[in-house]
Chain A
Amino acid sequence: MIESNDSLLDIEVQPSKLDIGYTSTILRSPTKPMILLKKSIAERTGPLFHDFNLGILDHDLTKNSVRNGEPIGERIVVHGTVRNEIGEPIPNTILEIWQANAAGRYVHKVDQHNAPLDPNFLGTGRCRTDEHGNYKFYTIKPGAYPWGNHHNAWRPNHIHFSLFGNQIISRLVTQMYFPGDPLLEYDPIYKAVKAKGRELLISKFDLDITEPNYALGYRFDIVLRGSQATPFENR
């Protein structure tokens, strides 16, 4: 049923669905066996958004919701390459990003953490990979914040990423972390990833893309599932 160039989730790096350290997985993760699907055109394709016009400041979270000044915090530039599993760059694919502000507060109304909102920072943006699969965006380094998973639980600094690739099976939602964060070893969401995969979620400080007198640079390369660098043609 499976063609030779198909790939499944790599269970040696991906998290399990159920992880009792992350308590909300207990009632929300499927428990019955997955059904292996013979792929149809719907699985070989996915949304491409070629007609979607990014706003000119979508890739710059330090500027895209300024009201009366610059957002507070440490300015950073994040870049990387998006590839498939055989190492081919994936051009022209959309990344969506969202994050807390420098104080560790999300704009989302559900977030009631007692830390200040920043009137000049929404904390969301988008960018698209270029013809070599490279992406880049500017933002403020997000702060850590407490959450209710267990006593004294704090999430490490992180940026949420959402990517599409060229097929519905290459869909990825993940989180990028920062090197040397002492909270990582206490974080059940990060640690739910198998040991072999954890390093892949930690960005690397990169002096080469650090912009003098402006922003610290971090590299975060991403590998999407599958081996299809270009979209499958419908007909």
Chain B
Amino acid sequence: MLQTPSQTVGPYFAYGLTPKQYGYDFKNLTTNILESVLEGKEIITIKGKIFDGENKVIPDAMIELWQNDGEHNFFGRFGTGSESDSHFAFQTIKPNSVDGQAPFVTLIVFMRGQLIHSYTRFYFSDETELNKQDLVLNSVPAERQNTIIAQKKDSCYEFNIYMQGENETVFFEV
């Protein structure tokens, strides 16, 4: 059967997909705080912004986060329209390494101006050894690998997403 075609999420998704975050009276399916049920695991924060082809910050995108290392799985969602500087942020735990591969987290990017969502993933800058031998990272041209490594800064990991340009983030065909 033919796949139902994708259409853009548009600019007005917030009251349907991220209602609580934007102050609408409708229950959320999920949030950006994903760690609450786990004790004894280090909580990490991922923070970033999304930039368009003119390097302008995008204030009307939605990011979904998915991680599954076989032990824990989490799904989160956050729009870039509620914070004054249009950043997104998630609290979660760092996934385990599976089969010797470097830990990573999948992100899906939706926005007005995207007819179909984009899949990316980020690795962790403090996993140098595992990153070096990771099959997926090594399938990415060397000069682009840094675009999918979240940088550890003080209390969080920073991961900015560039839709276009010299530093365009690596997006995956999954």
The answer to whether A108 and B15 touch (CB under 8 A), given A38-B136, A174-B5, is: yes
B15–A28 CB distance below 8 A = no
Binds B, one of A44-52, A130-138, A209-217: A44-52
A30–B163 CB distance below 8 A = yes
A126 contacts chain B at the CB level, 8 A cutoff:
yes
A39–B174 CB distance below 8 A = yes
Tally inter-chain residue pairs, CB-CB below 8 A.
227
A32 to B166, CA, bound (A): 10
Contacts of B19 in A (CB 8 A): 124
| Most B-side CB within 10 Å, residue of A27, A65, A122, A201 | A27
Q: How many residues of B contact A (CB 8 A)?
A: 70
A29 to B6, CA, bound (A): 14
A189 to B169, CA, bound (A): 25
The answer to whether A98 and B118 touch (CB under 8 A), given A30-B168, A47-B66, A171-B108, is: no
Closest 3 CB pairs of A and B: A98-B16, A24-B113, A28-B113
| Most A-side CB within 10 Å, residue of B7, B75, B110, B116 | B7
Contacts of A36 in B (CB 8 A): 139, 172-173
Chain A nearest CB from B59 CB (Å) reads: 9
Binds B, one of A8-16, A70-78, A178-186: A8-16
Q: How many residues of A contact B (CB 8 A)?
A: 82
Chain B nearest CB from A35 CB (Å) reads: 5
A42–B15 CB distance below 8 A = no
Partner of B3, one of A17, A45, A223: A223
Which residue from chain B places its CB closest to the CB of A34 in the assembled complex? B173
A219 contacts chain B at the CB level, 8 A cutoff:
no
